[in-house]
Structure formats: C-alpha cells, structure tokens
C-alpha cells in the first residue's frame, strides 16, 4: 500500500543560535527550496526544529529530493516518514503496512515515541509499548534491543498529524550556506582545494573560486577537469562562480629572471596577490586554500609566513592539520576524489624547480621579486580573467 510520505530534516547547530536563529532558519529554507526545483513542487516549512518537505503532487521525485536534502549544510539528520492520522488505530495500521519493508533484514529495534501534542491520550512510553508489540507481531525474526538497536522506529505525534519512520541518515551537518559570508577558494585540479572549499561551505560560507592556468603549458582538458570539480562541489556548495586567470607570462618571467630555487614561492606570491584582488572585486572577505602543513615545499611554516605577508585578507586553511589520507576520505565524501586524480597537469607543475626553497626568508624573496615587474605582471594577468558559473539545479533565485 502506498502511504503519503514527507521528508524530515533535523537541525544541527542552528538550534543553538539565539536571537539570530531565525536568519539561519530562513537560509536553510531558501537553500532547500532552491535544491527542490528539479524534483517537483514541494511545500517546505519548519516547526519545532524540524524542516518538513511535503510533495504537492504524484509527480514529485521523492528519491531525488531525499538525496538532495542530505547534501544541504545545516541538517544533521534526514529521513522519510509516513504521514497518518493522530489515533492509535491509524498509527498501528501504518506501522503494519509501511514498516516491514524498512525493517527487512534487521535483527533488533527499539521504538522511540515523541508526543509533541500533549493532548494525545497515551503517554510516550505507552505509545512505544503498543507499537513495539505491533512490530514484533508483524516483522518476522526481529527482536527488541533498547540499548543498541540496529534501527530505531520513531513515532511522532505532532500538531496536525502523526509520523512513522524507521532510522535516520546523517545530513551534511554544519551551518547553512550564505550564513557566514563569502570566501574565495584557490581551486587547483588536485585533491586538497575542493575539500577545503567544501569544508568552509560547511561552516556557512558562500564559495567563489579562482583557478590559475598556464596555457599552452597546461591543456584545455586540465581546465575542463577543474570545471568538473566545481560542478561536483556544487552538490554541497550550491552555486560557484569560477574565475580563471592565466599565469603563463608570469611563469616565463620568473623562469628567465629569478633563481630557480625560489620559483615555487614566488609563483605563490603572485597567486595570493591576484586572489586578493579578485576577492575584493567580488566581495569576498577571506581567501581559502587547500594547504596542509609540510605537505609540499610551498606549505612549510616559513613559506606560509611569506605568502601570508603579501595579502591583507584572512587566509583560511581548513586542511592544515590533516594528512593526505584524511583529505582523501573527505574528498570521497564530497564526491570530488575521482576527478581530482585524473592525470592532467596544473600550473604548479610547470617549471617546477629541482630543489625548491623550503625555508624562505622574506628579505630574500623580496630581493628575487625585485627582478621582475610585480605590479605590471599582476595587471597583465588580471586582465586575462574569465568567469564561469556552475550550478546543480536549473534555477537560482
């Protein structure tokens, strides 16, 4: 038998917010409505720290909407529930007919009743006991285990209806997108930077992205790889503008006029200066990088000190304390790993020095920079910037 279903999305940190809670809830609802647009017409609203996603006709794609809801930052749990009338007869009928498929193959369960409507004649323990008996008589081979069940069956008695569900999947967690300002991600084609962008989006940041290319030393396929990464990030990060700047002439100038050992750190300085300019133009209040301390020559503490000294915006490095295996786990979670390992070069592999400086001093680096026209090269490179927009749904309001 088919039952009317809803998707229930449970808040995470938002419940801890005080006077600003309404703003966070509004951001959550807006983002969920944007995500819903490809899947049909849904009524989306919140009550008592739960967001309800109700299909408005039989054409709604509940499977697609459910997967989309799990990727919205701000929710810690997402589940599908059957809707029924607020009386024990209808609740029991729903349990008998809706839950056996959900409990197939499970060995143990417990029932958790939530009686938000205190006018309901049974107490929560009484509801749990009766529903537990129904499940034991309906689902073959399953047993009660109140301490460590394989699945928790929840019956919620709310203002208008009762809801029956089995289990709950983890949501994306964090804070809603656009609740913590905007940051500019330095997006390469590697594993780390997409993870860094998603991690900051999880803290409520709207992500803009800046990619550096070095055509003809880097190929069009390398650029396409980065655009694919941005598209994959949008599954969690919503909309991303990807700005692309050419570093070709800068790299050629550094190769011809500066000591080879300093090439990596000098290139990084140009990147940071260009990123700051882009960030200010697009109203970003921080830079985001995928650096992990000590992973490569440009990510030593000395190198980070040098590159931070040339910009006046905060630089967020959410991967700084993670090792490569931990970053790979995050990349798989966000769906970017397989694209990141495609074998296309990026600008950082062009003219790589044989023995890069790992402990650069600021005065030595400035002496090297004096050999080139820093401001002129930045102006020339910034003029090459182009922008693409990546979305995961057809409309963005």
* Span 98-119, pLDDT tens digits: 999 999 999 999 999 999 888 9
Q: Mark whether 241 and 359 lie in a shared domain.
A: yes
Burial class of residue 61 (count of CB atoms within 10 Å of its CB; 0-12, 13-18, 19+): middle
Domain boundary among 170, 201, 228: 170
Rounded to an integer, the average pLDDT of 283-307 is 92
CB-based contacts of 133, cutoff 8 Å, min separation 6: none
The owner of tokens 């820093």 is 374
Total domain count for the chain?
2
Q: What is the mean pLDDT of the chain?
A: 92
3 phi and psi angles, rounded to 5 deg? -115, 145
**Can you list the alpha helix ranges (DSSP code H) found in 108-219?**
124-138, 192-202
Domain boundary among 142, 170, 198: 170
Please tell me whether residue 310 adopts helix, strand or coil conformation. Answer: coil
Q: Mark whether 28 and 59 lie in a shared domain.
A: yes
- The pLDDT value recorded for residue 382 is 97
Span 353-385, pLDDT tens digits: 778 888 989 999 999 999 999 999 999 999 999
Q: Mark whether 162 and 133 lie in a shared domain.
A: yes
What's the first-to-final CA gap in the chain, in angstroms? 38
pLDDT band at 166 (very low <50, low <70, confident <90, very high): very high
Distance CA 393, CA 135 (A): 40
Domain that holds residue 29: 5-170
Residue 395 lies in a domain: no
Domain boundary among 170, 202, 237: 170
Q: Two tokens at 169?
A: 């999947």
């Amino acid at each position: 038998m088919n039952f009317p279903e809803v998707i229930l999305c449970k808040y995470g940190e938002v419940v801890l917010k005080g006077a600003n809670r309404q703003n966070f809830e509004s951001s959550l609802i807006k983002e969920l409505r944007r995500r819903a647009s490809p899947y049909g017409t849904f009524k989306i609203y919140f009550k008592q720290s739960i967001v309800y996603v109700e299909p408005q006709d039989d054409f709604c794609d509940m499977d697609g909407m459910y997967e989309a809801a799990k990727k919205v930052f701000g929710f810690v749990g997402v589940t599908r529930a059957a809707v029924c009338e607020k009386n024990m007869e209808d609740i029991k009928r729903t349990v008998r007919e809706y839950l056996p498929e959900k409990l197939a193959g499970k060995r143990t369960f417990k029932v958790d009743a939530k009686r938000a409507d205190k006018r309901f004649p049974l107490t929560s323990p009484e509801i749990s006991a009766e529903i537990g008996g129904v499940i034991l008589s309906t689902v073959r081979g399953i047993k009660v285990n109140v301490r460590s069940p394989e699945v928790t069956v929840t019956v919620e008695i709310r203002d208008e209806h009762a809801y029956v569900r089995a289990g709950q999947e983890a949501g994306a967690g964090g804070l809603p997108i656009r609740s913590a300002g905007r940051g500019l991600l330095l997006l390469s084609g590697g594993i780390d930077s997409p993870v860094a962008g998603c991690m900051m989006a999880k803290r409520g940041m709207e992500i803009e992205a800046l990619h550096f290319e070095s055509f003809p030393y880097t190929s069009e396929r390398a650029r396409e790889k980065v655009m694919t990464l941005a598209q994959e990030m949008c599954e969690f990060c919503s909309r991303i503008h990807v700005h692309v700047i050419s570093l070709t002439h800068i790299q050629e100038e550094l190769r011809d006029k500066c000591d080879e050992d300093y090439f990596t750190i000098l290139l990084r300085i140009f990147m940071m200066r260009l990123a700051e300019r882009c960030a200010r133009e697009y109203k970003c209040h921080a830079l985001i990088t995928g650096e992990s301390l000590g992973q490569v020559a440009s990510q030593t503490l000395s190198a980070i000190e040098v590159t931070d000294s040339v910009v006046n915006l905060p630089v967020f490095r959410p991967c700084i304390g993670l090792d490569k295996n931990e970053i790979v786990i995050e990349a798989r979670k966000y769906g970017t790993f397989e694209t990141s390992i495609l074998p296309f070069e990026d600008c950082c592999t062009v003219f790589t020095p044989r023995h890069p400086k790992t402990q650069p001093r600021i005065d030595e680096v400035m002496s090297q920079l004096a050999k080139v026209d820093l401001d002129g090269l930045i102006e020339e490179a910034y003029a090459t910037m182009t922008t693409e927009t990546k979305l995961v749904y057809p409309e963005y309001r």
